[in-house]
Structure 1
Amino acid sequence: MKLLAFLITTALAIAPAHADDTSPVGLWKNIDDATGKPKALIRITESNGALQGKIEQLFRAPGEDQNPKCDKCDGARKDQPIIGMEILSGLKKDGDEYAGGEILDPNNGKVYKSKLHLTDAGKKLSVRGYIGMPMLGRSQVWVRQD
């Protein structure tokens, strides 16, 4: 009986460390929709019911600037390091997806409307950035890392 109690207690203590497959909160590797290659690791967190995401790591070729700045960004993001930058914000749960937020493309400094939803039993995230209507945009698939 003590062993069973120990196992249950241990399982409950470990459970929060694992990703919740029903939520986008966690660490994601984004895959470039044009090249199919990984671009960055993005940590998605939730605060007051809204999601935000920050870049934790960039996958850059040798010889490229490993800590680039967002020289094409406007406002407070102008010339700030891309690593650590919030690129996803304001997404709120709306049925099976999260919508109503924005996503920044640090390559061109533009901010787009955004929505996302989990796929593949929570192992992948379909992220869409768009102008005006969702059909006027592009999507990326991000892969869960934790």
Structure 2
Amino acid sequence: MKFFAVLSGFMMMTLVSVAQADNAPVGLWNTIDDTSGEAKSTVELYMEGDRLYGRIIELINPDEPNPVCEQCTGEKLNQPVIGLTIIEGLSFDGDYWSDGEILDPENGKSYDCRIWREGNKLMVRGYIGFFYRTQSWILSESASD
């Protein structure tokens, strides 16, 4: 009887892991500038275990060729923006990817983060308490190459 209880528990954990992977917005996403509405960068979202992460892999028409995160703190201070991990440790709760952080390399600040899909857009919200900003990211055309 214990064997079946253990087997059932293992199968349930496997199904939860599969559901998380199926709902993961893994791939290349273009961030959109709030002011101009133009694509600003390409972020690669990827899984490590059951957590979602994201790193900048391309800057689109940057003001300078190889910027570094001058406003960041700790190990990210003065690191190149291209290759910088900006989304860390999000977990899936059934509706959203949350319980992790997002870094804004322009100001070096980290915010709590929540991500969800609305149609073909990825909604990315950074927040502190009740104050938040939400961006719509779109699937990168290079993701389909």
Q: Structure 1 length normalisation: TM-score?
A: 0.78
Partner of 1:80: 79
What residue number does 1:28 align with? 29
Amino acid at match of 1:36: G
Give aligned pairs, total.
121
Q: Corresponding residue for 1:67?
A: 66
Structure 2 counterpart of 1:142, from 109, 134, 137: 137
Q: Give the alignment of 1:93-104 within 5 angstroms.
A: 93-104=92-103
- C-alpha separation in 1, matches of 2:59 and 2:33: 12
- Name the counterpart of 1:54: 55
Which sections of structure 2, spanning at least 5 residues, go unmatched?
1-20
Task: Report what 1:130 is aligned to.
Answer: 127
Contact 1:33 1:139 in 2 (8 A): no
Stretches of 4+ moved more than 3 A in 1?
none
**Greater helix share, structure number:** 2
Instruction: Report SS of the residue matched to 1:76.
Output: helix
Unaligned runs of 5+ in 1: 1-19
Change (3 A) 1:44 1:143: same
Instruction: Tell me the TM-score normalised to structure 2 length.
Output: 0.79
1:91 corresponds in structure 2 to: 90
RMSD (CA atoms):
1.5
Identity across matched positions, percent: 42
Write the distance in 1 (CA, Å) between the matches of 2:137 and 2:22: 14
- CA separation in 2, counterparts of 1:80 and 1:48? 25
Specify the SS of the correspondent of 2:28: strand
Q: Shift in Å at residue 84 of structure 1?
A: 0.2
Q: Report Cα offsets for 1:30-69 as digits up to 9, x if no partner.
A: 11223212110000001111000000000125xx212100
